């Protein structure tokens, strides 16, 4: 592997991990364009499969930290993740059947949508102590299963972590606070990424050396982003707006190139 490719893969992982640590989600949406335009992977399907590996690994690192801080509603996360894995497996199967260039163009459109969502106002939550139990199950289960399946389908189809969808999905289904939703969402991100990875790996569409380098860079980036997040906690809305602008520009470029 050429030194330039090694540096590009490490740098891509560093950037993704930093964004995840800094604003709590969304960095994985950049994995595919970074792998194609930065690292030089020419096949969009291989880029999606390789990106899914780093997405799942970075999410597990974040989940460990949030779990220690007791920011995870494990029962809600389990239901959401199980239904989402079914959707992600189906989505990955459908994604592999779509022409690579067409899939990349669709991915660019999704990036534009994600960037626009970054400017939205947070959903108001009303149930900070929400808990999945026998009493709350009739109300919560249908919402968790429905939103989990839909988010998983999109995650598997495009090979993304889906954190930008999981967080509002969890808040809509349970009314949990955003801070708890971010931690809880990482269970789904890890599960969806693992399901997508398994599907693409079985088809030989994962570049494992590049994935390992991205995970290594992501570990360092996650630590840097988390540290910076503490000192920039009051500017997260502004940071999300900057991130959204970058994602819109990159997504627009991908769509323009595809068309």
| Structure confidence by residue, pLDDT tens digits, 71-124 | 888 999 999 989 988 988 898 888 888 887 787 788 778 778 777 776 766 555
Predicted pLDDT of residue 188: 84
Predicted pLDDT of residue 204: 92
Q: Looking at per-residue confidence, does 24 or 202 come out higher?
A: 202
146: CB partners within 8 A, 6+ apart: 83, 173
Helix (H) or strand (E) segment spanning residue 99: none
Q: What is the pTM of this model?
A: 0.76
Is residue 125's pLDDT more than 60? Answer: no
CA distance 60 to 23: 16
Predicted pLDDT of residue 118: 65
- CA-CA distances (angstroms) from residue 41 to 38, 62, 181? 8, 27, 33
- Alpha helices, DSSP H, located in the chain: 3-23, 31-33, 44-68, 74-96, 100-117, 137-158, 163-174, 178-202, 208-231, 236-258
CA distance 72 to 64: 10
Mean pLDDT across 8-17: 88
185: CB partners within 8 A, 6+ apart: 25, 77, 163, 166, 167, 170
Predicted pLDDT of residue 162: 64
Contact present, 102 and 210 (Cβ < 8 Å): no
Predicted pLDDT of residue 116: 79
Predicted pLDDT of residue 21: 65
Is residue 165's pLDDT more than 80? Answer: no
- CA-CA distances (angstroms) from residue 181 to 12, 117, 172, 194, 208? 26, 16, 10, 20, 31
Mean pLDDT score of the chain, rounded to an integer? 80
Predicted pLDDT of residue 158: 75
């Amino acid at each position: 592997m050429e030194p330039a490719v090694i540096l590009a893969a490490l740098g891509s992982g560093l950037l993704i991990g930093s964004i995840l640590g800094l604003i709590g989600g969304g960095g994985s949406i950049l994995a595919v364009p970074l792998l194609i335009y930065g690292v030089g992977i020419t096949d969009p399907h291989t880029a999606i499969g390789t990106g899914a590996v780093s997405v799942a690994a970075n999410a597990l690192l974040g989940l460990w930290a949030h779990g220690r801080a007791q920011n995870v509603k494990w029962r809600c996360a389990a239901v959401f993740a199980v239904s989402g894995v079914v959707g992600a497996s189906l989505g990955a199967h459908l994604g592999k059947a779509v022409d690579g260039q067409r899939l990349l163009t669709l991915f660019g459109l999704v990036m534009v949508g994600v960037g626009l969502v970054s400017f939205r106002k947070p959903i108001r939550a009303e149930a900070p102590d929400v808990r999945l139990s026998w009493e709350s199950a009739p109300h919560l289960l249908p919402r968790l299963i429905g939103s989990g399946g839909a988010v998983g389908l999109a995650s598997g189809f495009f090979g993304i972590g889906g954190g930008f969808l999981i967080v509002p999905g969890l808040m809509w289904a349970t009314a949990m606070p955003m801070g708890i939703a971010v931690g809880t969402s990482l269970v789904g991100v890890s599960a969806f990424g693992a399901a997508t990875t398994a599907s693409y790996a079985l088809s030989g569409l994962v570049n494992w050396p590049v994935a390992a380098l991205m995970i290594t860079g992501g570990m360092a980036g996650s630590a840097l982003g988390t540290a910076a997040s503490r000192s920039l906690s009051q500017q997260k809305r502004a940071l999300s707006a900057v991130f959204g602008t970058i994602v819109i520009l990159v997504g627009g470029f991908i769509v323009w190139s595809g068309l």
